[in-house]
């Protein structure tokens, strides 16, 4: 592991991270076990199926002339699937068998541009509006229970639930959240604080991604070569290298694999999955897997499947854009467990 470069995140309150290593907290004390694991070689350049076992394929159906574009997916406690359809700018609710139960458009929810979903208290659904920054809380039938605005954000792109205690929203900050990437709220909508300054290299472009597991937030950005772990309880930060991004400046078989980060996903028991968009050289997505402490587990997994959601130990993916619906595949981690 290495120290954070100028491409790294600014710290929680605008201070630059000291670039602590995997398994080490800000006060310098760390886990020797994690450090030892970091010295092992992860497997590299395997197909996605080498690390995950496909459990089930479900056809999410729409009308024949409709094109379903899944930008986010949330499995619910009842077995239903909530889908953000960016093509229709609407939410779709599907049965466990893939039959569409409801189409929730702007008139039904007041959400002009749904961009992200999260579960709350295992019975409510949180939808993030990317057009008029706001969070809408609904029950599983799609009835709106409450709505609260997000005046601290300009362009929200993702929402995560932190153990039913906080909602974390990713997006460009505004007002008290200016210059920050992550904004924390109580589940009742009260603003708490804004964290993680925007990367300082180059123009203020790019996109941040976040995943949540247990009491930790995992952050990545398309313009940085590292990831950050923030422990909400201990308020400590650990940084570790984005090995895909770090490889982009080196020659060899792995250098061509470096691509733009397009998602972060984490299961409560691991792993953390970093997803990278297809490059000009391949149509496949690439995946790097890390343990929840940042230790690399598997690098360079390739698949045409695009991961769109996670629930418990299960990961969900889709492939392509089809008229009349798309196939949803359910995966479970199989390698190294």
CATH classification of the domain holding 293: 2.120.10.30
In a domain, 3, yes or no: no
Report which of residues 335 and 217 the model is more confident about: 217
CB 130 within 8 A of CB 114: yes
In a domain, 102, yes or no: yes
Question: pLDDT at residue 25 above 70?
Answer: no
11 falls within a domain: no
Residue 1 lies in a domain: no
185, 156 in Cβ contact below 8 A? no
Q: What is the pLDDT of residue 136?
A: 97
Does 209 score more than 90 pLDDT?
yes
pLDDT higher than 70, residue 231: yes
Most confidently modeled of 6-20, 28-42, 44-58, 105-119? 105-119
Q: State if pTM tops 0.85.
A: no
Domain that holds residue 115: 32-333
pLDDT of 21 higher than 60:
no
Structural domain count, the chain: 1
Of 186, 270, 262, which is closest to residue 229 (Cα–Cα)?
270
* 103 within a domain of the structure (yes/no): yes
CB 59 within 8 A of CB 322: no
Work out the mean pLDDT of the chain and round it to a whole number: 82
Residues with Cβ within 8 Å of 303's Cβ and at least 6 positions away in sequence, in order, are 47, 48, 49, 284, 285, 287, 317
Check pLDDT > 60 for residue 185. Answer: yes
Enumerate residues 6+ apart whose C-beta is below 8 A from 209.
Answer: 158, 170, 219, 220, 221, 261, 262, 263, 264
Locate tokens 């089809």: which residue? 322
Asked if the structure places residue 313 within a domain, the reply is yes
In a domain, 24, yes or no: no
Confidence label for 47 from pLDDT (cuts 50, 70 and 90): confident
The helices-and-strands tally (H runs, E runs) of the chain is: 3, 25
User: In the prediction, which pLDDT does 11 show?
Assistant: 46
- Top-confidence residue, 335 or 167: 167
Q: Is residue 10 part of a domain?
A: no
pLDDT cut 70: percent of the chain above it: 79
């Amino acid at each position: 592991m290495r120290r954070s470069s100028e491409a790294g995140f600014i710290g929680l309150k605008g201070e630059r991270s000291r670039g602590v290593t995997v398994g080490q907290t800000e006060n310098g004390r760390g886990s020797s076990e994690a450090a030892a694991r970091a010295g092992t070689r992860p497997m590299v350049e395997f197909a996605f199926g080498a690390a995950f076992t496909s459990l089930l394929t479900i056809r999410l159906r729409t009308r024949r002339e409709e094109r379903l574009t899944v930008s986010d997916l949330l499995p619910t406690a009842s077995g239903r699937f909530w889908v953000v359809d960016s093509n229709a700018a609407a939410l779709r609710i599907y049965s466990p068998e893939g039959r569409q139960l409801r189409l929730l458009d702007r008139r039904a929810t007041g959400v002009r541009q749904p961009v992200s979903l999260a579960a709350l208290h295992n019975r409510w659904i949180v939808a993030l509006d990317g057009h008029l920054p706001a969070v809408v809380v609904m029950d599983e039938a799609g009835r709106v229970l409450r709505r609260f605005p997000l005046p601290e954000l300009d362009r929200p792109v993702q929402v995560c639930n932190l153990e039913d205690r906080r909602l974390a929203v990713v997006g460009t900050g505004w007002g008290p959240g200016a210059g920050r990437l992550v904004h924390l709220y109580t589940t009742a909508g009260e603003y708490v604080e804004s964290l993680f300054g925007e990367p300082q290299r180059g123009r203020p472009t790019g996109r941040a991604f976040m995943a949540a597991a247990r009491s930790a937030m995992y952050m990545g950005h398309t313009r940085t070569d590292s990831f950050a772990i923030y422990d909400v309880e201990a308020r400590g930060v650990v940084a570790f290298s984005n090995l895909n991004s770090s490889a982009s400046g080196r020659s060899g078989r792995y250098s061509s694999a470096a691509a733009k980060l397009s998602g972060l996903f984490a299961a409560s028991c691991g792993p953390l999955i970093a997803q990278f968009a297809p490059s000009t050289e391949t149509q496949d997505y690439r995946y790097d897997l890390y343990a929840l402490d940042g230790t690399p587990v598997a690098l360079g997994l390739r698949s045409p499947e695009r991961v769109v959601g996670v629930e418990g130990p299960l990961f969900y993916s889709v492939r392509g854009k089809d008229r009349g619906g798309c196939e949803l595949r359910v995966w479970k981690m199989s390698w190294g467990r």
